[in-house]
Structure formats: structure tokens, C-alpha cells
């Protein structure tokens, strides 16, 4: 019995291919809808997955994960404003205070900023200069594509060394390696020891990271000695691994800095980590909505293909009434006729789905250069595309198959 069922199924598939081959134009027009629908589903899902990867990599690559900024400001309390002279403001000393007193921080870095004319090899640009402590790389997960980052020796000895942002390096030196060469920052010359790696990507970036890639970083002590003097710092940048208790970390940070400033609130703590978490949730919701909308559009394309399969099967039913009547008259069951038409509809949709997947593979390869991490074909897209196409084909074939199976031999032969 099982062998008979297998033979019937194989024969139904063979008949399907015979029908497709004997009506090439009609079959091609029918398959176009399924091909385009499957292509749309696979490409849409693949592109959404690729965009998600780029967005999350870009967000994590900006280096604000678990980061808070402490910056100077006027005290909000009028009484504290009158006592402001009791505090020296935000200085490099706060780096030691926070580093020594905080229990929930991974790393702390001091940052100073200045706009200066930066020049090398006859090319000049006005760029942001960052005076940073060596721990800046730990706080913001910074890496170099060439050379090295600052070390404690550079900081202690105030060495005139610099790490160029990758965009500034390309502007000043083009394709040449800048390592070991001199860059002039204001009136002082610095030796280039490294080129910072690209931060974020095209899908996710910020004004801070873009300016850093277009700027130059030097040790904080060298910044104070050769670029701009003074004890004040612009930002105290801290990083915590305790992302579930950001408010507690912020409270600890406020307590430590306020105590170091003799109770004067002449600073502000900006919870960048919390803002990034909120932004990630918004981005995730936006990507989810895009997925629903684009999948719906692609699904409609497949439904149009299903209508084509339904129409072809109705035409095929009208053309093959005599064949159906003859088969029933010699003992074919309703189930066998039903199976025949359902196999034809699903085989047609499977052929279209296969061609659509091949077309999707070619299209994604053609546009993969626009994605930094490439655009590999999404397994989820393939499963959804093929599964939905076959389901639509099966559904489109149900009514014609039922109509064919319910015909009596006399009705079929008369038709």
C-alpha cells in the first residue's frame, strides 16, 4: 500500500513537469508571481537582518556601553554658587578620587578638548584635539589600526606623541603610513605613534565619534604642557559593568565628586549608558516595525503568485476533464485525483520558490558591497520564502483539486 502511494505521488510529480513543459509560456507567467514573491521575502528578510547586524555593531562600536560623563557646570543652588570658590572645579585630581573610591567602575579617564590647527606635509585642518589619560581606550573600547596607544610612560613624562583619528590620518597623509612622522598641533610638533580604528559605522554613529575620527589624541599631561595649560578638565569619562544598576552607580559617582568638591554641585553627571539603552530599545522597535511592513509587502507578492497558480489549475481542470473522467471510470479514487492537483500546485510553487531563492542569492551578492559586514543570505529568509511559497501554492490548489475530485465519471467525460 505504501509503495502504491509512493508510485502515485511520483506519477503526480511527473505529470506536473509534463504539464509545465507542454505549456511553457503559461507556466512561465504563472511562476513569475511566485518567483518575485519568494525573491521579495528572502531579500527583505536578508536585508533587515543585515541592517540589524550593522546597527548593533555600530552602536556597540561607538564605545558608550556602560559609560557616564562628568562635566563641569554652575551650581544650581544659589547658596552653593556663593561658596563656589571653595571648589577647584573639575580637575585631574577628581580622576584619582573617583578611581580610588568607586566600587562599581571598570575604568575612569580624564578628557580635555581644544580646537586647533593641525598640519602635516603641507596640509592643514582645523580639528578637535583631545588630551586624554591612557585609560581612555579602556573606557571607550578604542583600538588602533596601526602603531600603539598611549601608555603610562607617555603620560608620566608628558611625551609629545599623538594618535590620529582615522579620517584625519587619511586627510593629512592619504594612503601613506603616518607612523613615526610629525604632526603640528598649534605651535608644537608631536610624533605620531598610532592611528585610531574606525568608530561605529555608517548605520550608527554620533557627533562625538565623528569629531574624534577627524581629530587627534595626545596624552593629557602633554596637552597641558604644549597645547593648553591649566588644571581644569572638560570631562571625566567613567565606565561600569553594572548596567542593571546605573542609577546606583550614578549616585555613587555624584557622592564621590561632590565630597571632593567640598559639597559644591558644580558638575553634572550625564548617564550616557542609560541613554544608549533607551536608544537601543527605540531602534529595536523601529526595526521590528520595518520587518512587519516589508514582510507584509513581500507576502502580498506571494499571494499574487498564488492567484496565478489557482487560475492555471482551473484552466488545467477544464482542459483535462476527459482525462479525469477516464481515470475515474477505470477506478481512480477521489483521493487520487485530489492528490494529483495538490501535488501539481505545490510542485509549481516549489519550482518558483527555488528559482526565487537563486535570484535572491544573486541579488544579495550584488549589493553585499554596500554592507560593511557583507550580506550573507538569511536562513530565516530562505525558510520563510520557501515555506510561504509552498503554503500559498497548496492553498491555491485546494479548491481546484476538490472540484476535480468530486466530479463523477459521467460529468467529467461529458465535459
The full DSSP string for 152-194 is HHHHHTT--EEEE-HHHHHHHHTTS--TT-EEEETTEEEEEEE
- Cα within 13 Å of Cα(125), Cβ side: 20
- Give the C-alpha separation, 381 to 353, whole Å: 12
State the residue range of the domain holding 398. Answer: 2-60+279-414
* Together in a domain, 33 and 158: no
Q: Which residues make beta-bridge pairs with 114?
A: 129
State the Cα–Cα distance between residues 275 and 243, nearest whole angstrom: 12
pLDDT for residue 1 is more than 50: no
Three-state secondary-structure class, residue 1: coil
Domain boundary, last residue among 246, 273, 300: 273
State which H helix or E strand residue 232 sits in. none
If one counts every other C-beta atom within 10 angstroms of the C-beta of residue 353, the result is: 30
Same domain, 200 and 308: no
Instruction: Please give the angle made by the CA atoms of 268, 213 and 151, to the nearest 5 degrees.
Output: 75
Domain count along the chain: 2
Report the candidate in 40, 38, 24, 39 with the shortest Cα–Cα distance to residue 391: 38
Radius of gyration in angstroms for the set of CA atoms belonging to the chain, rounded to a whole number:
34
Residue 123 has pLDDT above 80, yes or no: yes
Domain boundary among 273, 306, 326: 273
- At residue 4 the predicted structure's pLDDT band, cuts being 50, 70 and 90, is very low
| Domain shared by 49 and 102, yes or no | no
Collapse the DSSP code of 216 into the 3-class scheme (helix H, G, I; strand E, B; otherwise coil) and give the result: strand
Residues 345 and 390 in one domain: yes
Q: pTM for the complete prediction?
A: 0.69
User: Cα–Cα distance between 114 and 325 in angstroms, integer?
Assistant: 90
pLDDT-derived band at 23, boundaries 50, 70, 90: low
Do both 12 and 87 map to the same domain? no
Residue 5, C-beta contacts closer than 8 angstroms, at least 6 positions apart = none
Across 205-219, 245-259, 326-340, least confident range: 326-340
**Is residue 316 located within the same domain as residue 198?**
no
Q: Verify that 54 and 71 share a domain, yes or no.
A: no
Whether residues 182 and 83 share a domain: the answer is: yes
Give the mean pLDDT of 334-338.
Answer: 73
118 plus 188 within the same structural domain:
yes
Q: Which residue has the cell 601613506?
A: 176
Domain termination site, one of 273, 296, 324:
273
Same domain, 53 and 78: no
Partners of 267 in the β-ladder: 72
Amino acid at each position: 500500500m505504501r509503495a502504491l502511494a509512493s508510485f502515485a505521488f511520483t506519477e503526480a510529480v511527473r505529470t506536473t513537469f509534463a504539464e509545465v513543459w507542454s505549456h511553457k509560456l503559461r507556466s512561465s507567467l504563472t511562476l513569475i508571481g511566485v518567483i518575485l514573491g519568494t525573491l521579495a521575502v528572502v531579500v527583505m528578510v536578508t536585508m533587515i537582518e543585515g541592517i540589524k547586524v550593522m546597527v548593533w555593531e555600530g552602536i556597540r562600536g561607538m564605545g558608550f556601553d556602560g559609560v557616564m560623563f562628568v562635566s563641569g557646570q554652575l551650581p544650581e543652588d544659589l547658596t552653593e554658587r556663593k561658596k563656589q570658590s571653595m571648589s577647584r572645579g573639575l580637575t585631574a585630581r577628581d580622576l584619582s578620587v573617583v578611581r580610588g573610591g568607586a566600587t562599581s567602575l571598570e575604568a575612569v579617564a580624564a578628557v580635555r578638548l581644544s580646537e586647533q590647527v593641525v598640519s602635516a606635509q603641507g596640509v592643514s585642518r582645523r580639528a578637535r584635539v583631545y588630551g586624554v589619560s591612557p585609560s581612555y581606550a579602556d573606557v571607550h573600547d578604542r583600538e588602533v589600526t596601526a602603531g600603539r596607544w598611549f601608555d603610562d610612560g607617555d603620560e608620566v613624562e608628558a611625551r609629545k606623541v599623538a594618535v590620529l583619528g582615522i579620517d584625519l590620518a587619511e586627510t593629512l597623509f592619504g594612503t601613506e603610513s603616518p607612523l613615526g612622522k610629525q604632526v603640528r598641533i598649534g605651535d608644537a610638533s608631536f610624533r605620531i605613534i598610532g592611528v585610531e580604528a574606525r568608530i561605529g559605522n555608517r548605520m550608527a554613529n554620533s557627533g562625538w565619534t565623528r569629531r574624534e575620527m577627524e581629530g587627534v589624541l595626545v596624552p593629557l599631561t602633554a596637552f597641558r604642557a604644549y597645547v593648553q595649560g591649566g588644571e581644569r578638565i572638560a570631562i571625566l569619562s567613567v565606565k561600569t559593568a553594572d548596567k542593571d544598576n546605573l542609577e546606583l552607580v550614578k549616585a555613587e559617582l555624584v557622592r564621590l565628586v561632590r565630597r571632593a568638591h567640598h559639597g559644591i554641585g558644580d558638575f553634572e553627571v550625564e548617564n550616557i549608558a542609560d541613554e544608549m539603552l533607551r536608544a537601543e530599545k527605540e531602534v529595536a522597535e523601529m526595526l521590528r516595525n520595518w520587518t512587519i511592513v516589508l514582510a507584509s509587502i513581500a507576502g502580498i507578492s506571494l499571494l499574487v503568485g498564488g492567484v496565478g497558480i489557482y487560475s492555471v489549475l482551473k484552466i488545467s481542470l477544464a482542459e483535462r476533464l476527459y482525462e479525469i473522467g477516464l481515470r475515474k471510470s477505470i477506478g481512480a479514487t477521489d483521493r487520487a485525483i485530489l492528490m494529483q492537483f495538490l501535488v501539481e500546485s505545490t510542485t509549481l510553487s516549489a519550482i518558483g520558490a527555488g528559482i526565487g531563492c537563486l535570484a535572491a542569492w544573486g541579488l544579495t551578492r550584488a549589493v553585499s558591497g554596500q554592507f560593511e559586514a557583507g550580506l550573507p543570505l538569511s536562513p530565516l529568509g530562505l525558510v520563510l520564502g520557501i515555506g510561504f511559497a509552498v503554503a500559498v501554492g497548496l492553498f491555491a490548489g485546494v479548491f481546484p483539486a476538490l472540484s476535480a475530485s468530486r466530479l463523477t465519471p459521467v460529468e467529467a467525460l461529458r465535459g
